[in-house]
Amino acid sequence: PDLGKYKDMPWDQKHKEWAAMMEHLDRHVGEITETLDELNLIENTILFFASDNGYSHWGYFNRKRWENDSLFDNKGPWKGGKFLPLDGGVRIPFFVNWKGKIKPGTNGEPVALYDFPATACDLAGIDEPLTDGISLLPLMMGESIPEGPLHRYLYWENGSFGAHAQAARFRNWFAFREHPDKTLQLWDLSSDITCSKNVAASNSRIAEEALQIFLESHKPSEWYVNPGDTEELIENKRMKAEQEGSIQEPVRANSR
């Protein structure tokens, strides 16, 4: 691979390749914007950039290396990573560029990738189909929004290595349950961004609110593994998936 200026850095090969890949990505995004500018299209084009998940401790570096990487510190303070609905797995880089329309700056409002369709419809001036997303256009344009968070809550579930997991972020709280028969974990993000102190026991009302979010947000699937599925149901879904040409690996069933 072309390591560029990182070729002679006093790092191991994988770190050199990783740094070069990030710089290549940044340069290619810049080439896109430069080309749009040369074609006089930049002021009529909106660029969205995002990744599909948070940090990954699989593949390029093993998990131990990721969690103790003093060179790049990719993990940061966030709990969890790719494949699990924890802050480290769902927090992603995201920016929007619309020359002459969006002012440079940052915004800490929690949003989700499923806000994109609603935003695109708003930009195009067409009616939004019924989705869970909310248009980000007011945030992008620096307009005021109603007091309180844009989303009442953000909800996630499942994941390849946590197929029964559920999580929700609401106000300053983050709730996580690995499995319906596991204890709810609740963290106060205003004082614990690392999600290291479970305060569910001392915040019973908030914990009940989180469980209600889990209940109202989950929609059972006819074939995919759902939180609380029994072993028999999982096996039936696996057989159905095989018949349809895709294999759903069995996972631990609800013990209740």
What's the whole-model pTM score?
0.78
3-state secondary structure of 193: coil
d(CA 6, CA 1) in angstroms, rounded, equals 11
- Provide long-range contacts, Cβ within 8 A and 24+ apart, for 67-75: 71/11, 71/15, 72/15, 72/18, 72/19
d(CA 189, CA 170) in angstroms, rounded, equals 10
Detail the DSSP E strand segments found in 56-104.
Answer: 94-97
- Per-residue pLDDT tens listing for the chain (256 residues): 689 899 999 998 888 988 999 899 999 999 999 999 999 999 999 999 998 888 775 555 555 565 666 677 666 788 888 778 898 889 998 999 999 999 999 988 899 998 999 999 999 999 877 778 899 999 999 887 766 678 899 999 875 555 678 999 999 999 999 888 889 999 999 999 999 999 999 999 999 999 999 998 887 666 666 666 777 877 887 787 777 765 444 433 333 2
Residue 8 burial class via C-beta count within 10 angstroms: exposed 0-12, middle 13-18, buried 19 and up: exposed
Strands 47-50 and 154-157: unpaired
Domains for the chain: give ranges and CATH numbers.
Answer: 4-140 (3.40.720.10), 154-243 (3.30.1120)
